[in-house]
Amino acid sequence: MDQRANPNGRPEGQPGRQGGRPPLALALTGVVRRYPQGAGTIDVLRGADFAISHGQSVALVAPSGSGKSTLLHIAGLLEHSDAGEVFIDGTPTARLPDAERTRIRRLSIGFIYQFHHLLPEFTALENVAMPQMIRGLSRKEAEARSKEMLSYLGLGARLVHRPSELSGGEQQRVAIARALANAPRLLLADEPTGNLDPKTSDHVFGALTELVRATGVAALIATHNLELASRMDRRVTLREGKVVELA
């Protein structure tokens, strides 16, 4: 099985483990998503196929309203598709009960949004440590790992600062550390630098891609910035509800 999508975006063979190779981090096959609109419906995704391997970074570049957020929500098991299948590490998820989908999200998927969504009453260190403690790590272990990640992102001197005491770029780097703190297999980011000025955006994106490569996580990152997208392993877009590879 080829670990990348073929020219049509569909993964070759089955998304599960074959021939001793690990399964794809994420594979969407024939995904359909429609929403009611007036007396009819609007089709946002029309049989979308997409695959991403572990350790690979993919930029999703498409205009507003094309379905980027819908695709990310379905890939992250935040939303159900109307048809098709979503495989996470080779596991089909479309028919799983909500409790099991939640468990997979918690253990295998990290999310970064345009706005950092940090908890304002907690420090940078606490914001990153908390998801790890919820997962079961001791406070000591969680804080040690959080310090390491924040220092890697250039925030070693800002550990005890609350979000209101951090710049926009610093807040987003804390959000990146939080998303990767539990060592997810798949990272999904929706315009993670869209709320930052160009210089800060460049710095934060650089930190994100460097950390993605260092951890080996599979990353699907939606962005409008073509220059930033060019730094990633692959670039895809959405056309008429389907995922299309870009040169």
Contact 172, 192 (CB under 8 A): yes
Q: pLDDT by residue (tens digit) across 127-154? A: 999 989 988 889 999 999 999 989 988 8
* pLDDT tens readout for residues 187-200: 999 888 777 788 87
Nearest to 174 by CA among 142, 194, 197, 149: 149
Q: What is the mean pLDDT of the chain?
A: 85
Q: What pLDDT sits at residue 216?
A: 85
Residue 2 confidence (pLDDT): 35
In 166-216, the DSSP E strands lie at 186-190
User: For the segment 193-235, what is each residue's pLDDT rounded down to a tens digit?
Assistant: 777 788 878 877 887 888 888 888 899 999 888 888 888 899 9
pTM: 0.83
In this predicted structure, the answer to whether residue 1 has a pLDDT above a threshold of 60 is no
Domains of the chain, each with CATH number or no CATH: 24-245 (3.40.50.300)
Over 70: is that where the pLDDT of 6 sits? no
Question: pLDDT: is 27 or 154 the higher one?
Answer: 27
C-alpha to C-alpha distances, 244 to 51, 61, 170, nearest whole angstrom: 11, 10, 33
Instruction: Yes or no: say if 198 and 205 are a contact pair by the CB < 8 Å rule.
Output: no
Q: What is the pLDDT of residues 79-137, one digit of tens each?
A: 999 999 999 999 999 999 999 999 999 889 999 887 778 999 999 999 999 989 988 88
Examine the pLDDT at 5 and tell me if it is beyond 80. no
For the segment 151-180, the average pLDDT, to the nearest whole number, is: 90
pLDDT at 16: 52
Question: pLDDT tens, 31-49?
Answer: 999 998 888 888 999 999 9
How many C-beta atoms surround the C-beta of residue 99 within 10 A? 7
Helix (H, G, I), strand (E, B) or coil at 121: coil
